[in-house]
Amino acid sequence: MKSILPTLFAVLVTAIVALPSICAAQTEPINVALVDPIQIFPENNSIQGLRINLIYGKNASMEGLDWGLINAVGTGGLTGVQFGLANICDGNATGFQDGIVNLSNENFEGFQWGWVNSGTHVNGFQLGLVNYAGTMKGLQIGIINIIKTGGQFPVFPIVNWSF
């Protein structure tokens, strides 16, 4: 029993030291998804390159081109371009979203173009039927334009801005 204890202790220490690298999200160059979780790489992986979502795909973060029906990115954020019916980013986003619905739940810097565009903190341009920003540094053009805090107008048709 005494000879097993040092071995068990060594295995335990090795496992604890290796755990962060085992649990860390991987970065992959491409992903194809039918619906999450039926995709080449799981949701906790990051993609740097191309992601194609036949119906719905989600990954921790996305850098590059994100194309599909419903494109979702986790809190790791988006840097790049999203084309789809719905584009959703739970983290910071930098780039271009083109879809019927574009949602950014943190900071969005760039251009949103769709029927409904929404961002918590927008630094850029929103072009759509309905545009919403919690706070904004930029321009909105659409039928209904809402800047909750700090806009020229809280709600205004055709154009609204905050600089």
pLDDT at 12 over 70: no
Q: What is the pLDDT of residue 31?
A: 98
Please report which helix (H) or strand (E) contains residue 17, including its range: helix 4-23
- As a whole number of angstroms, the distance between CA 135 and CA 22 comes to 39
Average pLDDT along the chain: 90
**Do the strands 101-149 and 93-98 form a parallel or antiparallel pair, or are they unpaired?**
parallel
Selection from 45, 89, 44 nearest residue 66 by Cα: 89
Burial 99-118 (b: 16+ CB within 10 A, else e): bebbbbbebbbbbbebebbb
Kind plus residue range of the DSSP H or E element containing 125: strand 101-149
- Both tokens assigned to 133: 């920003």
Q: According to the model, what pLDDT value does residue 24 have?
A: 54
Per-residue CA distances from 93 to 84, 104, 130, 159 (Å): 16, 7, 19, 23
pLDDT at 136 over 50: yes
- The per-residue pLDDT for 17 is 40
